[in-house]
Amino acid sequence: MTQDIVILAAGKGSRMKSQFSKVLHKIGGTAMVRRVLSTASKLTNTKLHLIVGHQGEQVEAACQDFYANIVWQNNPQGTGDALRRAAPSLSEDGATLTLYGDVPLIQQSTLENMLALSTPNTLVLLTIKLDNPFGYGRIVRNAQDKVVAIVEQKDANAEQLKIQEVNTGILLAPNAKLKGWLEALTNNNAQGEYYLTDIIAMAANDGVNIVTAHPEAEWEVTGVNDRVQLSALERVWQQQQADTLMRNGATLLDPSRIDVRGELTTGQDCIIDVNCVFEGTVTLGENVEIGPNCVLKNCTVGDNTVIKANTMIEDSTVGADCDLGPFARLRPGTVLENKAKIGNFVETKKAHIGVGSKVNHLSYVGDTQMGAGVNVGAGTITCNYDGVNKFQTIIGDNVFVGSNTSLVAPVEVQTGATIAAGSTITKTVGEHQLAFGRAKQMNKDGWARPTKK
């Protein structure tokens, strides 16, 4: 039986003080609405419906890979109005699960528990008890402890305001009855809106069994209305990631100072220092050490590699037993074979660095194929760009490149060659040759230094 899942994402979110739709703001590097869609899509036999309104084109574009049915709510008049817009697209049987694009951390297990309670004559509410329920709709029960209604904060009387069990807004209703309830909704309330919660009283009057389920933690059902709340949920998310990493055998020198903005997988006995950021998909082997303030994005790092402070790695592959940094930058397309070394203030791009080769400091290596056992001296650059086109430099095994060398691509330095320091190399250097390309030195006697005027 197909389950319809409707995700409400039409609101402007004016308290965010942003030019962007609220649901496009990110938790852990992913837009909130995408987090909800991702969780919903993992449930079996589901059809996704996304309610959009404010900046709906941008929301739709950001979520197009989920292939959700897009429903427009250009003039939002409450949650009930949103679901009424989706009603024609809902299946005749089954049930509809209502979720929210600004409640990003709802867990799959919680939703599966709700689905397990669903029957053609059952409405499932997700509720939670709060010490301070201010602002939430209260769950009203009868003498038999059965749910009979939900009363919103502004419509509640003094006795109802004392109730601590509150509505999270997430509910699962049988479609055969839901469509009639939605048609019967009115906006006779303090807000002048169509409340989805009004269907609870209708369900009770119709003899429908109303049951409740509960999340494992409050943060699962916490919504985001402003950037303060967004920041609080970001910390919840990051703490979850830190806890998982440590349980899987990684050491975080300060779990409160790590940011995972994607998916990070670590082998055993990795050590990660403070203020490191991981974006996209990052995989670390065993015994990897990462110093403070490093940024890794879409990369793989082999066993026993050491990454020193302030190093950046993006769209690159790093082998085992490598040594990087501090202050190194590996740009997209870099591949380091085992035991390679990239030192301080070295930048690489589309560079394949061979086994045990070293680029120790103050160098740029781009569009380069480098063999094994190469030593690149300080200040060396591959001149790979003529202002229009990129060209490749090829360096064979066991080459020694002296400091302050410019390799003007396209150029090849063959196995065992040596480049003298300060050379500009513009043509092929043969195997085991010594190459030097310097302007003739001239010394002038009696030269007076400039003086300050």
Provide the greatest CA pair distance for the chain: 108
- CA–CA dist 222, 166 (Å, integer): 12
- CA–CA dist 91, 87 (Å, integer): 9
Q: Is 75 annotated as a binding residue?
A: no
Structure tokens at 223: 């919504």
CA torsion 356-357-361-364 (nearest 10°) is -140
Q: Is 79 annotated as a binding residue?
A: yes
Q: Is 100 annotated as a binding residue?
A: yes
List the one residue out of 319, 276, 283 whose CA is nearest residue 298.
283
Confirm whether 214 is a catalytic residue. no
Q: Is 115 annotated as a binding residue?
A: no
* Active-site pick, 25, 54, 361, 432: 361
Q: Is 137 annotated as a binding residue?
A: yes
Q: Is 136 annotated as a binding residue?
A: no
What one-letter code names the amino acid at 70?
Answer: I
Question: Of all helices (H) and strands (E), which one includes residue 227?
Answer: helix 227-247
Q: Is 10 annotated as a binding residue?
A: yes
Q: Is 452 annotated as a binding residue?
A: no
Q: Is 364 annotated as a binding residue?
A: yes
List the one residue out of 147, 110, 148, 150 whose CA is nearest residue 133.
150
Q: Is 384 annotated as a binding residue?
A: yes
CA 310 to chain centroid, in Å, comes to 21
Q: Is 344 annotated as a binding residue?
A: no
Q: Is 443 annotated as a binding residue?
A: no
Structure tokens at 405: 């060398």
Q: Is 375 annotated as a binding residue?
A: yes
**Cβ 299 vs Cβ 313: under 8 Å:** yes
SS3 per-residue string spanning 43-76: CCCEEEEEEECCCHHHHHHHCHHHCCEEEECCCC
Binding-site positions for Mg(2+) read 102, 225
Report the catalytic residues.
361
Binding-site positions read 8-11, 22, 73, 78-79, 100-102, 137, 152, 167, 225, 331, 349, 364, 375, 378, 384-385, 403, 421, 438
Binding-site positions for UDP-N-acetyl-alpha-D-glucosamine read 8-11, 22, 73, 78-79, 100-102, 137, 152, 167, 225, 331, 349, 364, 375
Binding-site positions for acetyl-CoA read 378, 384-385, 403, 421, 438
